[in-house]
Amino acid sequence: MQTVNETKRRGNALPEKFVFSFGGGSAEGSTNMKNILGGKGANLAEMASLGLPVPPGFTISTEICTLYYENDECLPESVKANVLSALKEVEKIMGRGFNDPGNPLLVSVRSGARASMPGMMDTILNLGLNDTTVEGLAKVSGQSRFAWDSYRRFIQMYSNVVLGMNHNVLDMTLEDLKADKGYLEDTELTEDDLRSLVASFKKQVTLETGEKFPSDPTEQLWGAISAVFKSWNTARAKTYRQIHGYPDWWGTAVNVQAMVFGNLGETSATGVAFTRDPSTGEKTFFGEYLLNAQGEDVVAGIRTPGPLTDKSAEGTEYTSLESALPLAYKDLVEIYKKLESHYRDMQDLEFTIENKRLWMLQTRNGKRSAQAAIKIAADMIEEELITEEEALLRIDPMNLDKLLHPTLDPKADFVRLAKGLPASPGAAVGEIVFTSEEAEMLKDKGKKLILVRIETSPEDINGMVASEGILTTRGGMTSHAAVVARGMGKPCVAGCADIEVNYQKGEMKIKGKTFKAGDTITIDGSSGEVIEGEVKTIPPQLGVEFKSLMQIADRHRKLGVRANADTPKDAKLAREFGAEGIGLCRTEHMFFDAERIDSVRKMILADNLHERKEALRELLPMQREDFKALFETMEGLPVTIRLLDPPLHEFLPQNDSELEALASRIKQPEDKIRTRIQSLHEFNPMLGHRGCRLAITYPEIYQTQARAIAEAAGEIVKLGKELTPEIMIPLVGTKAELERIRRFVEKEVILVQEEMGVEFHFLVGTMIELPRAAVTADEIAEVADFFSFGTNDLTQTTLGLSRDDSSKFLGPYVSSGILERDPFVSIDQKGVGALVKMGSELGRRTSPHLKLGICGEHGGDPNSIEFFHRVGLDYVSCSPYRVPIARLSAARAALLEKTKLS
Amino acid sequence: MQTVNETKRRGNALPEKFVFSFGGGSAEGSTNMKNILGGKGANLAEMASLGLPVPPGFTISTEICTLYYENDECLPESVKANVLSALKEVEKIMGRGFNDPGNPLLVSVRSGARASMPGMMDTILNLGLNDTTVEGLAKVSGQSRFAWDSYRRFIQMYSNVVLGMNHNVLDMTLEDLKADKGYLEDTELTEDDLRSLVASFKKQVTLETGEKFPSDPTEQLWGAISAVFKSWNTARAKTYRQIHGYPDWWGTAVNVQAMVFGNLGETSATGVAFTRDPSTGEKTFFGEYLLNAQGEDVVAGIRTPGPLTDKSAEGTEYTSLESALPLAYKDLVEIYKKLESHYRDMQDLEFTIENKRLWMLQTRNGKRSAQAAIKIAADMIEEELITEEEALLRIDPMNLDKLLHPTLDPKADFVRLAKGLPASPGAAVGEIVFTSEEAEMLKDKGKKLILVRIETSPEDINGMVASEGILTTRGGMTSHAAVVARGMGKPCVAGCADIEVNYQKGEMKIKGKTFKAGDTITIDGSSGEVIEGEVKTIPPQLGVEFKSLMQIADRHRKLGVRANADTPKDAKLAREFGAEGIGLCRTEHMFFDAERIDSVRKMILADNLHERKEALRELLPMQREDFKALFETMEGLPVTIRLLDPPLHEFLPQNDSELEALASRIKQPEDKIRTRIQSLHEFNPMLGHRGCRLAITYPEIYQTQARAIAEAAGEIVKLGKELTPEIMIPLVGTKAELERIRRFVEKEVILVQEEMGVEFHFLVGTMIELPRAAVTADEIAEVADFFSFGTNDLTQTTLGLSRDDSSKFLGPYVSSGILERDPFVSIDQKGVGALVKMGSELGRRTSPHLKLGICGEHGGDPNSIEFFHRVGLDYVSCSPYRVPIARLSAARAALLEKTKLS
Per-position DSSP letters for B2-70, written without gaps between them = PPP--S---SSPPPS--EEEEETTEESS-GGGHHHHHHHHHHHHHHHHTT--PPPEEEE-HHHHHHHHH
Identify the three-state secondary structure at position A868.
helix
A792 close to B (CB below 8 A): no
Write the DSSP assignment of A639-663 as a string of letters.
EEEEPP-S-GGGGS-SSHHHHHHHH
**Continuous H helices in B33-166:** 34-49, 62-70, 77-94, 133-141, 144-161
Q: Looking at CA atoms only, how far is residue A517 from chain B in angstroms?
A: 23
Q: Tens of pLDDT along B813-861? A: 877 788 888 899 999 999 999 999 999 999 999 999 999 999 988 999 9
Please classify residue B247 by burial: count the beta carbons closer than 10 Å to its beta carbon, then call 0-12 exposed, 13-18 middle and 19+ buried. Answer: exposed
Cβ contact B472:B454 at 8 Å: yes
A829-854 as b/e, with b when 16 or more CB fall inside 10 Å? bebbbbbbbbbbebbbeebeebbbbb
3-state secondary structure of B125: strand
| Spatial separation of the C-alpha atoms in residues B408 and B524, rounded to whole Å | 7
Q: How far apart (Å, rounded) are the C-alpha atoms in residues A16 and B512? A: 99
CB A795 within 8 A of CB A832: yes
Cα A603 from chain centre:
46
ipTM surpassing 0.90: no
pTM metric for this prediction:
0.80
Mean pLDDT of chain B: 90
HSE-up (13 A, CA, CB side) for residue B199: 7
Listing DSSP states for A681-709 in one string gives --SSGGGSS-THHHHHH-HHHHHHHHHHH
Q: Are residues B684 and A805, on separate chains, in Cβ contact within 8 Å?
A: yes
Which 3-state string (H, E, C) describes B343-409? HCCCEEEEEEEECCEEEEEEEEECCCCHHHHHHHHHHHHHCCCCCHHHHHHHCCHHHHHHHHCCEEC
In this prediction, what percent of chain B has a pLDDT beyond 70? 97
Among the listed residues B891, B864, B892, the one whose alpha carbon sits nearest the alpha carbon of residue B878: B864
H/E element, A516? strand A513-516
The ranges of chain B with pLDDT < 50 are 1-11
Q: Which positions 702-761 of B are in contact with A (Cβ < 8 Å)?
A: 731, 733-734, 736-737, 740
Q: Are A521 and A515 in contact (CB under 8 A)?
A: yes
Cα B523 to Cα A335: distance, rounded to the nearest angstrom: 93
> Which class for B127: exposed (0-12), middle (13-18), buried (19 or more C-beta within 10 A)?
buried
Q: How many CA atoms lie within 13 A of A307 on its CB side?
A: 14
Q: Which residues contact B213 (CB under 8 A, 6 or more apart)?
A: B155, B158, B159, B163, B201, B202, B205, B206
CA–CA dist A170, A186 (Å, integer): 14
Cα atoms in the 13 Å half-sphere on the side-chain side of A821: 16
Instruction: Provide the angle, in degrees to the nearest 10, between the axes of the packed helices B544-556 and B370-382.
Output: 70
Hey, is the C-beta of A801 within 8 angstroms of any chain B C-beta? yes
Length of chain A in residues, anyone? 902
* Dist. CA A653–CA A662, nearest whole Å: 8
Using the Cβ of B696 and the Cβ atoms of chain A, whether some distance falls under 8 Å is answered with yes
Angstrom distance (rounded) from CA B544 to CA B667: 57
Low-confidence ranges of chain A (pLDDT < 70): 1-12, 296-302, 478, 902
Say whether B689 and A805 touch across the interface (CB within 8 A): yes
pLDDT at A8: 44
C-alpha distances in angstroms, A419 versus A452, A489, A499, A529? 14, 20, 9, 5
* Position A211, amino acid: E
Cβ proximity of A869 and A894 under 8 Å: yes
Is residue B681 a contact partner of residue B593, using CB atoms and an 8 Å limit? Answer: no
Rounded Cα distance, B330 and B339, in Å:
14
The 3-state DSSP class for residue A404 equals helix
Neighbours of A172 (CB within 10 A): 12
Q: Could A835 and B689 be called an inter-chain contact, meaning their C-beta atoms sit closer than 8 Å?
A: no
Cβ–Cβ under 8 Å, residues B825 and B795: no
pLDDT of the residue at A478: 67
Quick one: pLDDT at residue A829? 96
Judge residue A543's burial from the number of C-beta atoms within 10 Å of its C-beta, 0-12 exposed, 13-18 middle, 19 or more buried.
middle
Structural contact between residues B723 and B635, judged by C-beta atoms closer than 8 angstroms: yes
Distance from C-alpha of B475 to C-alpha of B805, rounded to nearest angstrom: 6
Q: How far is CA A83 from CA A220, A225, B345, in A?
A: 13, 10, 99
> Mutation test of the interface with chain B: which of A456, A509, A687, choosing the one with the most B Cβ atoms within 10 A?
A687
Which residues does chain A have within 8 Å of residue B828's beta carbon, measured at their own beta carbons? 772
Active site residues of A: 480, 855
CA distance A811 to chain B (A): 10
What does DSSP assign to residue A56? P
3-class DSSP assignment, residue A666: helix
CB B563 within 8 A of CB B394: no
Beta strands (DSSP E) in B533-644 are: 537-538, 560-564, 582-586, 639-642
* Phi-psi map region of A51: left, alpha, beta (phi>0 left; psi -120 to 50 alpha): left
What is d(CA B501, CA B514) in angstroms, rounded to the nearest whole number?
A: 10
C-alpha angle A124/A130/A132, rounded to 5°?
150
DSSP B169-193: HHHHHHHHHHHHHT-SSGGG--HHH
CA distance B480 to B486: 10
Query: Which residues of B carry out catalysis?
Result: 480, 855
Inter-axis angle of helices A191-209 and A144-161, to 10 degrees?
Answer: 20
- Best to test chain B binding among A772, A795, A808, A838 (most B CBs inside 10 Å): A772
A contacts of B475 (beta carbons < 8 Å): none
Chain B contact set for A808 (CB, 8 A): 689
Q: Where are the alpha helices (DSSP H) in A781-882?
A: 791-799, 807-815, 834-846, 862-871
Contact B828 A772 (CB under 8 A): yes
Tens digit of pLDDT for each residue in B8-27? 444 457 788 999 999 998 99
Q: Looking at the partner chain, which of A737, A769, A804 has a beta carbon nearest the beta carbon of B684? A: A804
DSSP bridge pairs for A787: A766, A852
Q: Please, are residues A860 and A559 in contact by the beta-carbon 8 Å criterion?
A: no
How many whole angstroms separate alpha carbon A318 and alpha carbon A305? 8
**Secondary structure letter of residue B97 according to DSSP:** B
| B672/B510 Cα distance (integer angstroms) | 41
- Tell if the CB–CB gap between B771 and A696 is shorter than 8 Å: no
Q: What is the pLDDT of residue B403?
A: 82
CA angle B417, B422, B426 (to 5 degrees): 90
Q: Which of residues 58-77 of B touch A (CB under 8 A)?
A: none
CB B39 within 8 Å of CB B29: no
B813 contact A CB<8A:
yes
Predicted local confidence at residue A597, as pLDDT? 87
Axis crossing angle, helix A144-161 with helix A167-181, rounded to the nearest 10 = 150
Please give the backbone phi and psi of residue B449, each rounded to the nearest 5 degrees, phi first. Answer: -130, 150
pLDDT for the residue numbered B104: 96
- At residue A495, the pLDDT reads 86
The helix, strand and coil proportions of chain A, stated in percent and rounded to the nearest 5, come to 50, 15, 35
Closest residue on chain B to A769 (Cα): B800
**Best mutation target, A797, A830, A836, A838, to test chain B (most B CBs within 10 A):** A797
CA-closest candidate to residue B766, choices B641, B865, B872: B641
